[in-house]
């Protein structure tokens, strides 16, 4: 392997260690000339349209094998550095996933966006927050565990951004106990951008039967009011129609 290697579109010198890590996740893509509604034909051929963009990087339309992209999404994750090999180019490009579009009903992969990064510049990313452990406040007092925040925004060098951050909820011993962003243990080199006072998880008191009945009753009354309004609207439409016929 010849070093140093310079990534296209970047002035950064990449170390052999960084190349070794990046080689773990590789995706081959081709330039794409088909655009607009014609991309449906690509999908029928087992290809997914993609887009590459980034700082000081020319935007490119790409296409890749759908099953290979799905495998990368499942195994690498959102913040993993992907070694993007574009046919016709001599060196791969370091990228991260920045958008995955799926069909709302069939979950078919429709489009992906890649963001070209610099390995020596800070990157802002959303990192999922994953709960671990069992909170005594739930098992002992029948509390309700509520996760208010499923990700936090961080800033770090690309190589230092984790796939997820764990929060130990076994410390939630009493009802109304909560953990905040400031309580999260994050790796060195990671700067948390989310507000420190944001609640991540909280154990709320259990709802008593009377509260549940009141909520159901309130929902029922709102539904009846909506039906009455709809009936009045229909009557108004009938009157309007009659008036038009008279003219």
pLDDT of residue 34: 87
Of 65, 34, 62, the closest CA to residue 50 belongs to 62
Q: Are 22 and 81 spatial neighbours (Cβ–Cβ below 8 Å)?
A: yes
3-state DSSP assignment of residue 246:
helix
Q: What is the pTM of this model?
A: 0.69
pLDDT of residue 170: 96
Given a cut of 70, whether residue 230 has pLDDT beyond it is no
Strand order in the sheet with 151-156: 165-168, 123-132, 151-156, 191-192
pLDDT band per the 50, 70, 90 thresholds, residue 237: very low
pLDDT, tens digit (0-9, with 9 covering 90-100), for 148-175: 999 999 999 998 999 899 999 999 999 9
Give the mean pLDDT of the chain. 82
Q: Which CATH number fits domain 5-118: 2.40.240.10, 3.90.950.10, 3.40.50.300, 1.10.3720.10?
A: 2.40.240.10
Given a cut of 90, whether residue 103 has pLDDT beyond it is yes
pLDDT band per the 50, 70, 90 thresholds, residue 97: very high
Given a cut of 90, whether residue 224 has pLDDT beyond it is no
**CATH number for the domain running over 124-204:** 2.170.120.20
The mean per-residue pLDDT over the stretch 139-154 comes to: 94
* Phi, psi angles (nearest 5°) of residue 22: -65, -30
pLDDT, tens digit (0-9, with 9 covering 90-100), for 3-16: 223 333 333 444 44
Residues of the chain with CATH 2.40.240.10: 5-118
Of 72, 87, 90, 62, the closest CA to residue 22 belongs to 72
The upper half-sphere exposure of residue 147, i.e. CA atoms within 13 Å in the direction of its Cβ, equals 14
Neighbours of 195 (CB within 10 A): 12
Which of the pair, 217 or 212, is modelled with greater confidence?
Answer: 217
Which of the pair, 193 or 17, is modelled with greater confidence?
Answer: 193
Which of the pair, 212 or 202, is modelled with greater confidence?
Answer: 202
The position carrying tokens 């565990």 is: 145
Residues of the chain with CATH 2.170.120.20: 124-204
pLDDT, tens digit (0-9, with 9 covering 90-100), for 14-52: 444 444 444 468 999 999 998 888 899 999 999 999 999
Q: Are 89 and 81 spatial neighbours (Cβ–Cβ below 8 Å)?
A: no
3-state DSSP assignment of residue 198:
coil
Given a cut of 80, whether residue 142 has pLDDT beyond it is yes
């Amino acid at each position: 392997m010849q070093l140093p290697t310079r990534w296209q579109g970047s002035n950064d010198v990449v170390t052999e260690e960084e190349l070794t890590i990046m080689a773990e996740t590789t995706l081959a893509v081709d330039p794409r000339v088909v655009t607009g509604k014609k991309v449906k034909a690509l999908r029928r051929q087992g290809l997914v349209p993609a887009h590459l963009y980034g700082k000081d990087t020319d935007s490119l339309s790409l296409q890749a094998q759908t099953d290979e992209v799905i495998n990368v999404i499942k195994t690498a994750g959102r913040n993993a550095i992907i070694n993007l090999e574009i046919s016709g180019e001599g060196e791969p490009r370091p990228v991260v996933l920045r958008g995955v579009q799926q069909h709302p009903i069939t979950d078919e992969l429709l489009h992906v966006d890649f963001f070209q990064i610099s390995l020596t510049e800070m990157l802002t990313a959303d990192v999922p927050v994953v709960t671990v452990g069992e909170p005594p406040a739930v098992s002992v007092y029948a509390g309700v565990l509520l996760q208010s925040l499923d990700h936090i925004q961080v800033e770090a060098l690309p190589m230092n951004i984790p796939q997820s951050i764990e929060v130990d909820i076994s410390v939630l011993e009493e009802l109304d106990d909560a953990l905040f962003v400031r309580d999260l243990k994050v790796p060195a080199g990671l700067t948390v951008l989310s507000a420190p006072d944001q609640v991540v998880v909280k154990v709320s008191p259990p709802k008593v039967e009377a509260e549940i009945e009141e909520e159901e009753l309130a929902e029922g009354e709102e539904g009846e009011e909506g039906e009455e309004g709809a009936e009045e609207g229909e009557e108004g439409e009938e009157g309007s129609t009659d008036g038009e016929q008279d003219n």
